[in-house]
Amino acid sequence: MLARARLSRLPTSFLGRRLASTKSLKETLQEVIPAKQEQLKKLKTEHGQAVVGEVKVENIIGGMRGLKAMLWDASVLDPNEGIRFHGLSIPECQKVLPSAPGGKEIIAESMLWLLLTGQVPTPEQTKQLSKELAEKGDLPAYVEKLIDSFPTTLHPMTQLGMGVAALNHDSSFQAAYEKGMKKSEYWTHTLDDCIDLIARLPALAARIYRNVYKPGTPLPAINKDLDLVGNYSNMLGYGDNQSITEYLRLYIALHGDHEGGNASAHTAHLVGSTLSDPYLSYSAALFALAGPLHGLANQEVLRWQLAMQQEIGSDVSEENIKSYLWKTLKSGQVVPGYGHGVLRNPDPRFIALQEFCNTRPELKNSPIIQLVNKTSEVAPDVLKEHGKTKNPYPNVDATSGCVLYHYGFTEFKYYTVIFGVSRALGALTQLVWARALGLPLERPKSYSMDALEKLVKQ
In this prediction, residue 15 has a pLDDT band, given cuts at 50, 70 and 90, of very low
Question: So what's the pLDDT on residue 11?
Answer: 38
Phi first, then psi, for residue 437 (nearest 5°) are -90, -5
Kindly report the average pLDDT of the chain as a whole number.
Answer: 92
266 is catalytic: no
Is it the case that residue 259 has pLDDT exceeding 70?
yes
Q: What is the mean pLDDT of residues 64-78?
A: 91
Q: CB–CB of 112/198 below 8 Å?
A: yes
> Does 40 score more than 70 pLDDT?
yes
Mean pLDDT (whole number) for 408-426: 95
pTM of the shown model: 0.92
Confidence check: pLDDT of 257 > 60: yes
For range 193-202, the mean pLDDT: 98
Q: Would the pLDDT of 3 be above 70?
A: no
Q: Which of 212, 233, 213, 214 is nearest to 222 (CA)?
A: 233
Q: What is the spatial distance between Cα 424 and Cα 145, in angstroms, rounded to a whole number?
A: 23
State the DSSP string of 79-92.
Answer: TTTEEEETTB-HHH
Q: Which of 269, 277, 397, 406 is catalytic?
A: 397
List, as own/partner pairs, every contact residues 304-310 make where C-beta atoms lie below 8 angstroms and the sequence separation is at least 24, other chains included: 304/328, 304/335, 304/336, 304/337, 305/368, 305/371, 305/372, 305/375, 305/402, 306/368, 306/405, 308/371, 308/375, 309/367, 309/368, 309/371
> For the chain, what percent of residues have pLDDT higher than 90?
82
Rounded Cα distance between 263 and 104, Å, is 31
pLDDT value at residue 298: 82
How far separated are the first and last CA of the chain, in Å rounded? 49
The pLDDT value recorded for residue 345 is: 82
Q: Which pLDDT belongs to residue 13?
A: 34
303-341 residue pLDDT tens = 999 999 999 988 889 999 999 999 999 999 989 989 877
Reported as type and span, the H/E element at residue 250 is: helix 242-254
Tell whether domain 297-406 is in CATH 1.10.230.10.
yes
Q: How confident is the model at residue 17 (pLDDT cuts 50, 70, 90)?
A: very low
Q: Tell me the mean pLDDT in the region 215-240.
A: 96
Confidence band, pLDDT 50/70/90 cuts, at residue 99: very high
Instruction: Give 102-160 pLDDT, tens digit per residue.
Output: 899 999 999 999 999 999 999 999 999 999 999 999 999 999 999 999 999 999 999 99
- Specify whether the CB–CB gap between 337 and 397 falls below 8 A: yes
The Cα–Cα gap between 150 and 140 comes to 16
Q: What CATH number was assigned to the domain covering residues 133-294+412-436?
A: 1.10.580.10
Is residue 294 among the annotated active site residues? yes
pLDDT (0 to 100) of residue 241: 93
Reply yes or no on whether the pLDDT at 342 is more than 90: no
Q: Which position among 78, 138, 294, 386 bears the catalytic label? A: 294
pLDDT at residue 19 is higher than 80:
no
pLDDT at 109: 98
Write the burial class of residue 36 (CB in 10 Å: 0-12 exposed, 13-18 middle, 19+ buried). middle
Write down the pLDDT at residue 4: 42
Domain boundary assignment for the chain: 133-294+412-436, 297-406
Q: Single out the catalytic residue among 192, 340, 347, 406.
A: 340
The residues with which 84 forms a beta bridge, in sequence order, are 76
Q: Is 340 a catalytic residue?
A: yes
pLDDT, residue 455, reads 92
Segment 41-53, tens digit of pLDDT:
999 999 999 999 8
